[in-house]
Amino acid sequence: MVDADDRAMSRLDGQVAVVTGGSKGLGRATALAFAREGASIVLCARGEPELRRVEDELVATGASVLALTADLRSARDIERIAALAFHRFGQVDVLVNNASELGPTPLPYLADYPPHAFADVLAVDLVAPFRLTQAVIGDMLRRRRGVIVNISSDAAVTPYAGWGAYAISKSGIDAMTRIWAVELGDSGVRMYSLDPGDMDTAMHRAALPEDDPAALLDPATVAPVIVDLVTGAFQIPNGSRLRGPDLIAARSDRAVASSV
């Protein structure tokens, strides 16, 4: 359990963060990092048992938690997430659109891609972030503050054979982020897309089972730079596309400089 005095001095004290796909991998690590910085957490995922385990971990930090089972392919579930978040906490300060659907494995070429699977991937990876952002951004605009982080991938910019629907959805996330940032102007609301880098996650193992886990990033290493991004530790233009390894290096350089 985190001491209340420690939480009172944390960077996200009094803020509410919504994290999708929060039951494992980067979503879990990010939710825990936010909770340790004092945020209240709204967490959603499809898998009930894993979601409840992470909920217990978050509660153990002293955070207020709302954990919801939800299928982001459902517009009704997205509306429910936003409605319950506002009912419980009254505001949303941070949204991390992390939930992702890889698609069929082994990864099929586009010529062989099942159309229903293609639609599912875009529904989770692109349409759901659009809908959930729409559901919370009005509150952010009224209060002239808020941060949205859309999780992208290097597949958005590098054409890997077999990564069709996933890569297309992540390219769309990058474009949506840039356009929305321009439309937001000087509203006080920030939006970024973040390619976290190759991480040791269940999704990566499903896509590339031959990769050595030791060569991959631990999601717990990436999550602190998302906290830094959200709290304004980096001076980065709104709408930027960022890479996790670059932010990790910048964070390390800053720590070294401050110790000198």
Q: Which residues are catalytic?
A: 152, 166, 170
Q: Tokens 């290493």 appear where?
A: 221
CA distance 158 to 257: 34
What does the DSSP assignment read for 179-190?
Answer: HHHHHHTTSSEE
3-state secondary structure of 41: strand
Show Cβ contacts of residue 232 under 8 Å, excluding neighbours closer than 6 positions. none
Contact criterion met (CB below 8 Å) for 117 and 165: yes
Outline where DSSP puts E strands in the chain. Answer: 16-20, 40-45, 65-69, 94-97, 146-151, 189-195, 241-243
Q: How many CB atoms lie within 10 A of CB 85?
A: 26
Largest distance between two CA atoms of the chain = 58
Output phi, psi for 98, to 5 deg: -105, -30
Q: Tokens 């994290």 appear where?
A: 19
Rounded alpha-carbon distances, angstroms, from residue 78 to 30, 98, 111, 150: 20, 14, 31, 16
What does the DSSP assignment read for 193-244?
Answer: EEE--SB-SHHHHHH-TTS-GGGSB-HHHHHHHHHHHHTT-S---TT-EEEH
CA distance 247 to 83: 33
